[in-house]
Structure 1
Amino acid sequence: FAEDAGALAHPVRPPEYREINNFYTLTVYEKGAEIVRMLHTLLGEATFRAGMDRYFADNDGRAATVEDFLHAHEAASGRDLSQFARWYSQAGTPRLHVHRHWEGGCFRLRIEQTAPTIAGHSGPQPLQMPLRYVLYDASGAALDVAPDGGDGSGLVVLDRASHELVFNGLDAAPLPAFNQGFSAPVKLHCDYTPAELATLARIERDPFNRWDALQQLAKAVLLRQFPDPHDAGAALSDAIGALLDDDAADPAFVAECLALPDFDTLADAVDIIDVDALLAAREDMLDLLAEDHVERLQRRYEALASVAAGGIDGAAIAARALRNTCLSWISRLDPTAALASEQFAAATNMTDRLGALRVLVRFDAPGKAEALAQFQQRYRDDALVTDKWLTLVASRPQPEAIDEVRALLDSSWWIPTNPNRVRAVLGSFARLNPVAFHRADGAGYALLVEQLPRLDAVNPQVAARLIGAFESHARLLGSRAALARSALVRLRAGVHSRDAQDLLKRLLA
């Protein structure tokens, strides 16, 4: 929840607002949904269902509130949910710091709960949350062991600033894993070594945690958070290799794991955003991993061809997802992107056709212009598919993409009264193209700010969403912060909706 840590942070249920349209946000919808799912984990399936039945019975035909929702679950469960209710009123994503200690057959886990202090919001208090955990032995088997005073369910309810789990009678220090199934929407830190994260990426039974272990490892490698960067990079490469060799794993899951942390994820993890350093580190790492595993990537690409050629069943969709991911990695090593051109010419479905075009545009390959022209002509009467190729052009990660976006804005493809078209061009440029949007001369900020007054007059809600692209501007390194702020200051005189003025006031505070 990046929004939770930025200038636009707010609780799931804000106590007040200047413009209600600015609260149709990921915090309200995504985090709000996670809170409901967390309550399900806390209460269990049967009790949660009883609470929902009570909620519907009590509130049918009424305008129900959060209090009504929680009251129904209190009645069904016999629990006091007053502390849990803080999730709705407290801004910011909680952080869990796990400290491990092993001595003489005794393994201790101390879990400390903290939360960021958000400007303009009251000080954070400990939240109530369920946290799942598993302990693995050296062979990768899950230990059937309960903590002192615990029930061995693998679920602990945290409700204090510090909580300790103590496991006695163990033969060796186990490897702990936490938050299976994303049991709580938190940021969790444990002092894992690169080898331990690589091991969890291989042995974890929970798909979310297996994915998250790879994300943690890749992010730490990119941000050089380990003492030995070389060993950490090797551990990441080994984990990727093991994943590509795992033919039993769902190909769609493998594809998801290969989508390593993007720019926004890395920027969210640092205090000062060095745009050039983060982008360069990510590109260098992807190039190196592609070189390390090109044979594996080619093998998976070819082996999945027949399944991917199927229809719209799950197996075919999953196969296409991994094939197109492999295609993107393989094409890093071929300036001509010949394999992408072949796939584009032979494609019998939109996924493969668009996946190949994405690679050709992304790497500015020799076949880009012809493929793009064919795609445009073929789908020129389909507005939604047209938005697809416009997104590819607007998000091409090169500084000169600004010129291509300006050309689109001057063309008949640009329809400022169509929200989907605005998102495809300007939304993709501002949100998906950090290379061009954060261009060192500020041209990316200037381009967006030039367009926003006209959009604000037509659709204030869409314009306000685009202003949100500047949310992290104060943390940008060097002159970029000043250039972005200057652009926002200029914009203040050009937009007049309450939506835009509300966001600008918060961003410039």
Structure 2
Amino acid sequence: MSTKPQAKYLKDYTPPSHHVESIELTFELSPNETLVTARSVWVANSDTATALSLDGVDLDLVELTVDGVAVDSYELNENKLNLSELPTRFRLEIKTKIDPANNTSLEGLYQSAGAFCTQCEAEGFRKITYFLDRPDVLTVYTVKVIASQNIPYLLSNGNKIEEGQLSDGRHFATWHDPYRKPSYLFALVAGDFDVLKDTFKTRSGRDVELALFVDKGNLPKAPHAMNSLKAAMAWDETRFSLEYDLDIYMIVAVDFFNMGAMENKGLNIFNSACVLANQETATDRDYHTIESIVGHEYFHNWTGNRITCRDWFQLSLKEGLTVFRDQEFSSDLGSRGLNRIDAVNAMRMHQFAEDEGPMAHPIRPEKVIEMNNFYTVTVYNKGAEVIRMLHSLLGEDGFQKGMLLYVERHDGQAATCDDFVAAMSDANNVDLSQFKLWYSQHGTTTLKATTTYDEQSRRYSLTLTQRPPKNNASQPPLLIPVAIQLLDRNGNDIALSNASNVANNVLQLSDYEQTFEFENIQNEPVIVLLEDFSSPVKVQFEQCLEDKLHILKFARSDYSRWEAMQQIFTQAVVEAVNSESRDLDSRIVDACKSLLEKPVGDLALLSELLVLPNFETLASQFDTTPVDALVEIIDCFEQQLAEKLKPYWSTVYANLMENHALNAEGVGVRSLQNTSLYYLAKVSDAEIDAWLEKAAVSVNMTTKLGALRAMVGASHSLLEESMTRFDGQWRHDLLVMDKWFAMQAMRRDENAIARLKSLFTHPCFDKSNPNRVRALIGSFARANVRHFHRIDGQGYQILGDLLLELNDINPQNASRMLTPFMSWKRFDGQRAEQMKSQLQRLADLPNLSDDLFEKVEKALAG
């Protein structure tokens, strides 16, 4: 690259030179020549601000006037329009032309299957018109959309105030959003859709119109998303006392979208994969994901829209808080234990790895080159864990008092993370200055624990030591909430009473090392440490297998029971890697057997207990990832569980009645059926083959994919026929075909690489569509460890070739697909060199995008 992109720093933040009183946008839509007219009123923030520098990318400037007079003296370059000698207050009119049809970046205004739609977060508005495209410039938008009659729906933010016909045969709709917002929340959609309509009555008695727009023919797949929206609106009123504020709330589902969804005020634009579902085409996991994402985007109405972030370094202010809120929504409506397991898996699989890699950053980054690269699991998921720690420290009542004060202080403003913590602190009259270190902390802190028990004094001592991460060794001590439970040898809960007579199961570790003492403990207890994953830390604690099995049986937290089983499996794998033995401890097999003998309670949780940890979790136990050994041992342990427990798997599967209900019972049945079938496929006989064949043609997609996954895991003889049948049945539905692509990507046989390459020419595959790319290549790189990490490098070559193409087609998607290469230093020499060489191929590109530049540069230097 001739010039390297320049970094921006949090410390250099300065307020904007001007603010905008109002803006009126008119769009005359055309696939290749959309005309955008922006009329706005600007006011300087100081008497000396006579110049204005506006952001703009890929725009054709047609006309420019200030106070009605054409402007000739301006400076225009690749990404800026610079004006000078401006009055303190002036009206600015800018006309630009843009080309939505050829905008493959999917940022700004683009076309998705013929419909016009926008994506402006983080910096996409500058691809629509020249503006101060930054989150602290808030104004009131009025938007007029003009299009031909064959585009019936013309949508934008806020409430519709006018619509009609023009003399030239076109029609228009005008929308007004009364709430000030930044440019990244602007939205426009125009197209021909099927529409599902409903209403919601708010707690104050207002009727809100709800509308869900989907591609023609997809209306039967829309009710679940609508029901999820209504549930989210009711939940936010009940749990957070937050009511919706406009007259209409709209969701539009489009097939071409870089992310899951976008919370634009009153007009959410969603990836169709996060909206459309019925039991024939979507899995139980899809239903849960849709509920969560619909809730997430709705909750942004207050935590993101009404109160937005001052600058992009504060992104976790809205995202971390809103992820916490959507996690609580799903937990209140469903299984809290399963939702906590999902959240922790995301942390361990992705966030811990990010913390250890070259892109490690705090939840409030201090330096940014390309903002799109900081929509990360650290900002979102670790950000949510930081909010959860606040909730643990303050309790539900204290947290809600803080939320109330936060909204009262900052409604209609662009706020900071410091503003949020200050509201929590002031509302509860507590000093959170040490807690604020979490916002600037990068890397994963390790928590070391040791225990002692004095029989004579009946005192139990727990010493906790926090060790900063290697890449942040000078980190001062954090305030770490450590939730615990003590169990006696009969499995009963022991009431906690420490030496200072404070009874609480959440300990506050505020120094590098502290000892907590508990009195009147009759016998040495078994401790459940970091109950419910009360802090985003790694734990070093030597606990024998019998104690972990005790926790598995008696812990009050479903998450902690699952965590105990994960630790049991993980320790067995680590020991196998370090020895010649491949025999799974009989006590572990017996524990699984006892779970299967009496499958009661939450069957979905039981299913999770019987699944080995994922590859990423196991790999994190080693400085250099032993790829071949882990692949061998995981296969070996699964085979042993299949063989030794075959009668139990068979009995469970045979006794579980087919249940298509979408309630917790139905989901649990299908989950345990699929786990049982996964193991049974490895020891297949005629009866099991019949079960597999029947499940593979089920009308329920969860059951159907469960059978295919079982066949893939066992390289079963029925797999090829089943995959061919699936392809023939579902080619008309691209979202369903994404599931098929993902299954093809995970196949283990020796033809896997050749098959994967051949799928690039499949009529349903499209490299310009992020969903297709994530389904095929994303699944391959993430889940097919055996072939992605082949020692000959062919797996890396496939991803590298794709990234070179995506750099030109869709840099944002390319950046997200790059992630598997970021941890190249954790692998053995040959694999590390092969991954590094793929990164170097990208670095050598003369036109490397800003999105890829930052990550590639850091990966190679890290």
The TM-score with structure 2 as length reference comes to 0.57
1:276-328 CA distances to partner (integer Å, 9 max, x unpaired)?
01111111111111222111111211221x2x323222211110011001100
Deviation at 1:348, TM superposition (A): 2.8
Partner of 2:449: 98
Please state whether the residue corresponding to 1:108 is helix, strand or coil.
strand
Q: Are the aligned partners of 2:392 and 2:506 in contact in 1 as well (CA < 8 Å)?
A: no
Change over 3 Å in CA distance of 1:150–1:284 after alignment to 2: farther
Deviation at 1:234, TM superposition (A): 2.3
Partner of 1:204: 555
Please state whether the residue corresponding to 2:838 is helix, strand or coil.
helix
Residue type at the aligned position of 1:303: N
User: Given the alignment, which residue of 481, 492, 507 partners 2:843?
Assistant: 492
* Worse overlay, 31-40 or 370-379: 370-379
1:37-436 aligned at under 5 Å gives the runs 37-104=388-455, 105-118=458-471, 123-224=474-575, 233-304=585-656, 306=657, 308-334=658-684, 338-344=689-695, 347-436=698-787
Q: Are the aligned partners of 1:395 and 1:432 in contact in 2 as well (CA < 8 Å)?
A: yes
* Worse overlay, 370-379 or 51-60: 370-379
Please state whether the residue corresponding to 1:135 is helix, strand or coil.
strand
Q: Are the aligned partners of 2:678 and 2:711 in contact in 1 as well (CA < 8 Å)?
A: no
Residue identity over aligned pairs, in percent, reads: 35
Change over 3 Å in CA distance of 1:81–1:58 after alignment to 2: same
Q: Are the aligned partners of 2:577 and 2:629 in contact in 1 as well (CA < 8 Å)?
A: no
Change over 3 Å in CA distance of 1:377–1:227 after alignment to 2: closer
Residue type at the aligned position of 1:294: K
**Structure 1 residue 16 corresponds to structure 2 residue 367:** yes
Name the CA distance, whole Å, in 1 between partners of 2:578 and 2:730.
51
Please state whether the residue corresponding to 1:132 is helix, strand or coil.
strand
Deviation at 1:420, TM superposition (A): 0.2
Q: Are the aligned partners of 1:226 and 1:232 in contact in 2 as well (CA < 8 Å)?
A: no
Partner of 2:157: none
* Worse overlay, 279-288 or 54-63: 279-288
Name the CA distance, whole Å, in 2 between partners of 1:231 and 1:77.
54
Q: Are the aligned partners of 1:361 and 1:396 in contact in 2 as well (CA < 8 Å)?
A: yes
Deviation at 1:163, TM superposition (A): 1.4
Q: Are the aligned partners of 1:397 and 1:434 in contact in 2 as well (CA < 8 Å)?
A: no
Residue type at the aligned position of 1:453: L
Please state whether the residue corresponding to 1:224 is helix, strand or coil.
helix
Residue type at the aligned position of 2:674: N
Partner of 1:457: 808
Please state whether the residue corresponding to 2:496 is helix, strand or coil.
coil
**Structure 1 residue 468 corresponds to structure 2 residue 819:** yes
**Structure 1 residue 446 corresponds to structure 2 residue 807:** no
Runs of 4+ in 1 over 4 A off after TM superposition: 225-232
Deviation at 1:34, TM superposition (A): 1.2
The TM-score with structure 1 as length reference comes to 0.95
Partner of 2:314: none
Q: Are the aligned partners of 1:331 and 1:340 in contact in 2 as well (CA < 8 Å)?
A: no
Name the CA distance, whole Å, in 1 between partners of 2:641 and 2:488.
29
Q: Are the aligned partners of 2:770 and 2:813 in contact in 1 as well (CA < 8 Å)?
A: yes
Name the CA distance, whole Å, in 2 between partners of 1:230 and 1:206.
31
Change over 3 Å in CA distance of 1:78–1:64 after alignment to 2: same
Change over 3 Å in CA distance of 1:316–1:39 after alignment to 2: same
User: Given the alignment, which residue of 354, 360, 363 partners 1:3?
Assistant: 354
Residues matched between the structures, number: 505
Q: Are the aligned partners of 1:98 and 1:190 in contact in 2 as well (CA < 8 Å)?
A: yes
Name the CA distance, whole Å, in 2 between partners of 1:339 and 1:152.
56
Name the CA distance, whole Å, in 2 between partners of 1:396 and 1:123.
45
Change over 3 Å in CA distance of 1:150–1:477 after alignment to 2: farther
Change over 3 Å in CA distance of 1:138–1:226 after alignment to 2: farther
Compare the two structures and name the one with the higher helix fraction: 1
* Worse overlay, 66-75 or 175-184: 175-184
Change over 3 Å in CA distance of 1:103–1:218 after alignment to 2: same
Name the CA distance, whole Å, in 2 between partners of 1:398 and 1:114.
43
Change over 3 Å in CA distance of 1:475–1:230 after alignment to 2: closer
* Worse overlay, 403-412 or 62-71: 403-412
Name the CA distance, whole Å, in 2 between partners of 1:231 and 1:98.
29
* Worse overlay, 148-157 or 436-445: 148-157
Change over 3 Å in CA distance of 1:126–1:245 after alignment to 2: farther
Name the CA distance, whole Å, in 2 between partners of 1:7 and 1:59.
35
Q: Are the aligned partners of 2:385 and 2:536 in contact in 1 as well (CA < 8 Å)?
A: yes
Residue type at the aligned position of 2:448: H
Residue type at the aligned position of 1:374: R
Residue type at the aligned position of 1:163: Q
Compare the two structures and name the one with the higher strand fraction: 2
1:150-186 CA distances to partner (integer Å, 9 max, x unpaired)?
4222121111111111123333211111222222122
Deviation at 1:109, TM superposition (A): 0.9
Name the CA distance, whole Å, in 1 between partners of 2:675 and 2:610.
7
Deviation at 1:355, TM superposition (A): 1.1
Q: Are the aligned partners of 1:340 and 1:359 in contact in 2 as well (CA < 8 Å)?
A: no
Q: Are the aligned partners of 1:131 and 1:158 in contact in 2 as well (CA < 8 Å)?
A: yes
Q: Are the aligned partners of 1:335 and 1:365 in contact in 2 as well (CA < 8 Å)?
A: no
Name the CA distance, whole Å, in 2 between partners of 1:271 and 1:340.
42
Deviation at 1:267, TM superposition (A): 1.1
Name the CA distance, whole Å, in 1 between partners of 2:482 and 2:805.
48
Give unmatched runs, 5+ long, in structure 2.
Answer: 1-350
Deviation at 1:230, TM superposition (A): 8.6
Q: Are the aligned partners of 1:96 and 1:187 in contact in 2 as well (CA < 8 Å)?
A: yes
1:441-499 CA distances to partner (integer Å, 9 max, x unpaired)?
01111111111111111111111111111122112123111121122212322361011
Partner of 2:41: none
Residue type at the aligned position of 2:671: A
